[in-house]
Amino acid sequence: MADIDKLIRETLKGDKLAVSRLISVVERGHAQTPYILEKIYPHSGNAYYIGVTGPPGSGKSTTVDRLVKMLCSNNYSVGVIAVDPCSPFSGGALLGDRIRMNKRKSEWDVFFRSMSAGKIMGGLARTTKESSRILDASGKQIIVIETVGVGQSELDIAQATDTVVVILTPESGDNVQLMKAGLLEIADIFVVNKADRPGAENISMSIEAMLDRQRGKLEWRPPVLLTSASLGKGIEELYAEIWRHADYLRQDDKLKERRKSQLKGELKQRIESEIVNTLWQKIRDDADIDELVNDIWEQKIDPQSAAGKVVRRCLKD
Amino acid sequence: MERKIRVVMAKLGLDIHWRGVYLVSQFLKDAGMEVIYLGNKFPEQIVEAAIEEDADVVGLSTLGGNHLTLGPKVVTLLKEKGLDKVKVFMGGVIPPKHIPLLKQQGIYEVYGPDTPMDVIIKGISDSVTVH
Ligand SMILES: Nc1nc2c(ncn2[C@@H]2O[C@H](COP(=O)(O)OP(=O)(O)OP(=O)(O)O)[C@@H](O)[C@H]2O)c(=O)[nH]1
Ligand SMILES: [Mg+2]
């Protein structure tokens, strides 16, 4: 524990090495994780959280790179968490080539961490939240989280950030109608990147049309921006829109409400996994699963009834 | 607890020989490691990345000229920053007579261009004491 306490102390002072180690410990779901989170949590909640998501290859990393540079030039300290998919076969991952592509200025205060999405204990939602809280508690003012918008991850990013930027490309074109509703629903800002290619106007118009249909229902109408991240075009507008959204959230306690509803979601998730873990522990101690499987195999009982029986018995005592 | 080895891979300096290091990165990924691929980097930036990514291993590729200075510089900087446990591997075109020199200066292992992939994978795995 002494080691962990020291790591926590140094993390709160902003020591990079400690921050990095602590993220690893938590990411790996080490036994000390609950203790760490307990100590870190009271020091978090000061940063502003920006999520960047979208289909593979749409230019998320290039955009994050440009945004982080702008944030740093404006004297913000920035933490970046970039989540990339991992190989389903080996569990390994190839991460990288982001902000480090270009030279960092030495006075910039930025911490960049890559993570692989697979096989994380308790899922992506847990680790991105916990790692970003560590960065937050270490004194970072802005946290940027990049994830690929596939599967559940875009919902996770909406659960973990204050402003969600969804990045599409002209290639998303005709698919906007068909596009996963999830990605469209979570956007606070739409970006059509690679606007140097044909078709950008079209996709931007079809997003606007979609937003028009929801007119009246939207309190915040997400702006639709055209960018060419690799050429650095449109990034200043994006930067401004992010702050406009932040200002909007800061009126009438909206930010507080958003965060509280996220915490509610997180609490529910954690209660669920707490229930599952606790019950399983007890069931493993009490019930003979293999014997039950035999009974099911011999059709003395059906699987559903067997499950019900086990859980009820476990809850009784 | 599953514990994946984290490797930071970079090409030293302005070396434009990228195929080799990218291919090695792919193989390490397929061997179950988490590889953070940096592209062309100087020692300061490589060490910065090793800190933030909590790397177990740093892999450097070089095509020539700079390896005798830049390689050991990475080792020195890592030590300065308190990352003594990080193992530094080098690969690429390095004259055999330079290998002892590099090892003397803290490079953990040096692999020539013809080293079989499984030798590299095993070398990296064995160098990391996973606990
Ligand atoms: N033409 C054009 N290419 C771009 C633009 N922005 C990014 N790219 C290129 O698109 C490719 C993918 O960019 P990334 O920034 O890596 O995209 P990403 O969304 O982070 O990709 P994943 O993380 O792999 O899903 C790179 O080759 C970029 O150079 C742009 O505005 N115009
Ligand atoms: Mg990316």
Paired tokens of B75: 């080792």
Nearest to residue A6, comparing CAs of A28, A36, A27? A36
Strand order, beta sheet including A48-54: A110-116, A78-84, A142-148, A48-54, A163-168, A189-192, A224-226
Confidence of residue A106 (pLDDT cuts 50, 70, 90): confident
Examine the domain organization and report whether A49 and A191 are in the same domain.
yes
Ligand 1 atom nearest to CA at A82 = 23
Could you tell me the pLDDT band of residue A264, with boundaries at 50, 70 and 90? Answer: very high
* Interchain pair A21, B49: CB under 8 A: no
Q: Are residues A175 and A233 in the same domain?
A: yes
Q: Give the distance from residue B8's alpha carbon to the nearest chain A alpha carbon, in angstroms.
A: 9
Q: Are residues A155 and A177 in the same domain?
A: yes
A57 and A93 in a common domain? yes
Domain that holds residue A36: 1-42
The reply to whether A163 falls in a domain is yes
Residue A286 lies in a domain: yes
Is the separation of the CB atoms in A7 and A16 below 8 Å?
Answer: no
CATH code of residue A226: 3.40.50.300
Look at residue A255 and tell me if it is in a domain. no
Position A257 in a domain: no
Q: Are β-strands A110-116 and A224-226 bridged in parallel, bridged antiparallel, or unpaired?
A: unpaired
- In-domain check, residue A233: yes
Helix B117-127 vs helix B19-30: crossing angle, to nearest 10: 60
Give the pLDDT mean for A284-288.
78
Q: Are residues A35 and A91 in the same domain?
A: no
A36 and A60 share one domain: no
Task: Check residue A177 and give its pLDDT.
Answer: 58
Model pTM?
Answer: 0.90
In total, the C-beta contacts within 8 angstroms joining chain A to chain B are 78
How many domains is chain A built from?
Answer: 3
Say whether both A122 and A203 belong to one domain.
yes
The residue out of A196, A220, A249 marking a domain boundary is A249
| Residues in contact with A158: Cβ distance below 8 Å, sequence separation at least 6, in sequence order | A51, A164, A186
Asked, for residue A299, whether it belongs to a domain, the answer is yes
DSSP summary character for residue A231: G
Considering the domain architecture, whether residues A133 and A37 belong to the same structural domain is answered as no
Residue A304: other Cβ atoms inside 10 A: 9
- Same domain flag for A29 and A140: no
Burial class (CB in 10 A: 0-12, 13-18, 19+), A48: buried
Q: Which of residues 86-145 of A touch B (CB under 8 A)?
A: 86-87, 89-97, 100-101, 103-104, 111-114, 116, 119
Cβ–Cβ < 8 Å for A11, A134 = yes
A277 in a structural domain: yes
Q: Is the pLDDT score of B17 beyond 60?
A: no
Q: Report CA(A194)–ligand 2 centroid distance (Å).
A: 14
Q: What is the set of domains in chain B, with CATH numbers?
A: 6-119 (3.40.50.280)
Phi and psi, residue A307, nearest 5° = -60, -45
Residues A36 and A163 in one domain: no
Q: Tell which wins on pLDDT, B108 or B94.
A: B108
pLDDT tens column, B47-64: 999 999 999 999 999 876
Residue A258 falls within a domain, yes or no?
no
End-to-end CA distance of chain A: 34
Write down which residue in A219, A249, A279 finishes a domain: A249
Find all residues with CB under 8 Å of A18, minimum gap 6, and list them: A6, A7, A8, A9, A10, A11
Q: Are residues A35 and A61 located together in one domain of the fold?
A: no
Q: Are residues A12 and A67 in the same domain?
A: no
